[in-house]
Amino acid sequence: MEAIILAGGFGTRLKPLTYTRAKSLLPIMNRPMISYIVNQLPDEVNRVILAVNYRKKEIEEFFEGNDFGKEIIVNEEKTPLGTGGAAKFAEKHITGSFFVLNSDIISSLDMKKMVDFHYKNNGFITISLWPVKNVSEFGVVDIEGDRIKKFVEKPRPEEAPSNLINAGAYFMEPEVMDRIESGRLVSMEKEIFPKVIGEGKSFLGYRVSGYWIDVGRIKSYLRVHRILMEKTGKENFVGENCKIQGKVSGSCLGDGVFVGEGTEVRDSILYDRVHVSEMAKMKNCVIGEDCEIGRDSDLENVVIGDNEVIEDGSMIRDKKIWTQKIPEGYPEEQVGNVLKR
């Protein structure tokens, strides 16, 4: 069994962190995000196809240096192909039923149970579903029992057929590939799913319970750390060779981090080798590798890219900081089709 993992995005909403690393390699509790997806796969999946574009070599090197007990194939897309196009591009590696998964969704989805559900109910396509409160901000499903009849985009609450949205994990039969055109950007959600429903095929919804986070923005990136630390019963997650002289709460620290005396770090993420000088304050921040935060600084809702220096006494609010050259070819906005939920 195979799994296609979509890992080609630039992660523009997470810049400047993604100026210097692939989005799928952003650390969550000091482990690359994509490792959570691979480890979540059922044992039946023995081959993983990674649909990549941006920073391909970096992703290759990570998997060359880490053994997940599965065959890993890096499938480079010269141009973004979307969820459907990426699946079609990987078709030569598919031998039967397969997953299509987003690399930026961290959840408690039991993929083995999802597979069993699919086979038990003779599914053609099964997608994961997640309940939301604010249905007017999403595309929700019209579902009868376990069978999805259609998608309704941003309905008014009183008109919503359900409170369930597409949660970004798909399990499908290989015949789905026959419905995808080669060589162009194809949205599985906008083009293929409606076609399959229109054909009367068994299009099923599998409900996820527990937790589900689309790690597409800084807010959700911070939130996934809070959720996972709570799940593991940790007040903080601290890497190796850290020296903490100040107070740290609700935060994740990489390796080799220094926190000076009188400093307070709250609800923040500090990457490897960050140096925070004395008497600084930090709340809801993400600080890239090898950054230096000056004495008496006061930062809140700040994201700082790698290798930046914040001067002593700086007071910064609600800002992204990057003073270096933006990587060539990095887009200003999202590229390709965005997951439609």
The pLDDT confidence band at residue 212, using thresholds 50, 70 and 90, is very high
What lies within 8 Å, CB to CB, of 123 at 6+ separation is 117, 171, 172, 173, 202, 203, 204
Mode of pairing for the β-strands spanning 105-107 and 212-214: antiparallel
Q: pLDDT tens digits for 96-137?
A: 999 999 999 999 999 999 999 999 999 999 999 999 988 888
Cβ-in-10-Å burial (0-12, 13-18, 19+) of 21 comes to: buried
Cis peptide before 16 (omega within 30 of 0): yes
How many CB atoms neighbour CB 91 within 10 A?
A: 16
- Position 138 scores a pLDDT of 83
2-218 and 237-321 have identical folds: no
Among candidates 80, 2, 71, 67, which has minimal Cα distance to 35? 67
C-alpha–C-alpha distance, residues 261 and 247, integer Å: 8
Residues 274-325 have pLDDT tens digits of 999 999 999 999 999 999 999 999 999 999 999 999 999 999 999 999 999 9
Mean of all residue pLDDT scores within the chain: 93
Confidence of residue 334 (pLDDT cuts 50, 70, 90): low
pLDDT at 340: 46
Query: Looking at residue 260, what is its pLDDT?
Result: 97
pLDDT at 338 over 70: no
Q: Name residue 170's beta-bridge partners.
A: 100, 127
Give which of 280, 330, 288, 326 is closest to 305, Cα–Cα.
288
* C-alpha 326 chain-centroid distance: 22
The answer regarding whether domain 2-218 maps to CATH 3.90.550.10 reads yes
Q: For residue 306, give both structure tokens.
A: 């790698």
Ordered alpha helix ranges (H), the chain: 33-40, 56-64, 82-89, 111-120, 193-198, 218-231
Average pLDDT over residues 238-257: 98
Instruction: Encode pLDDT of 43-63 as tens digits.
Output: 999 999 999 988 999 999 999
CATH superfamily of 237-321: Hexapeptide repeat proteins (2.160.10.10)
Taking CB atoms within 8 Å and a gap of at least 24, the contacts of 262-270 are 267/222, 267/226, 268/222, 269/27, 269/221, 269/222, 269/225
Kindly give, in sequence order, each residue whose CB lies less than 8 Å from that of residue 337, ignoring residues fewer than 6 positions away: 82, 83, 185, 187, 189, 190
The CB density around residue 231, as the number of other CB atoms within 10 Å, is 11
In DSSP terms, 238 is beta-bridged to 253
Round to whole Å and give the CA distance between 276 and 269: 12
* Residue 15 DSSP symbol: T
Interval 165-188: pLDDT, tens? 999 999 999 999 999 999 889 999
Three-state DSSP at 136 gives helix
Cβ contact 132:163 at 8 Å: yes
Q: Which residues pair with 266 in a beta bridge?
A: 249, 283
CA atoms of 312 and 241, how far apart (whole Å): 25
> What is the spatial distance between Cα 288 and Cα 279, in angstroms, rounded to a whole number?
20
pLDDT at site 312: 97
The confidence score (pLDDT) of residue 142 equals 93
Q: What is the domain partition of the chain in residue ranges?
A: 2-218, 237-321
CA distances from 158 to 58, 133, 138, 237, 268 (A): 47, 12, 14, 43, 38
The answer for residues whose C-beta is within 8 angstroms of residue 338's C-beta and 6 or more apart is none
Which of these, 178, 208, 199, 49, lies nearest to 114 by C-alpha position?
A: 208
Whole-number Cα distances in Å, 227 to 20, 59, 129, 149, 232:
26, 26, 19, 33, 9
The predicted pLDDT at position 225 comes to: 97
Q: What is the pLDDT of residues 73-95, one digit of tens each?
A: 999 888 888 899 999 999 999 99
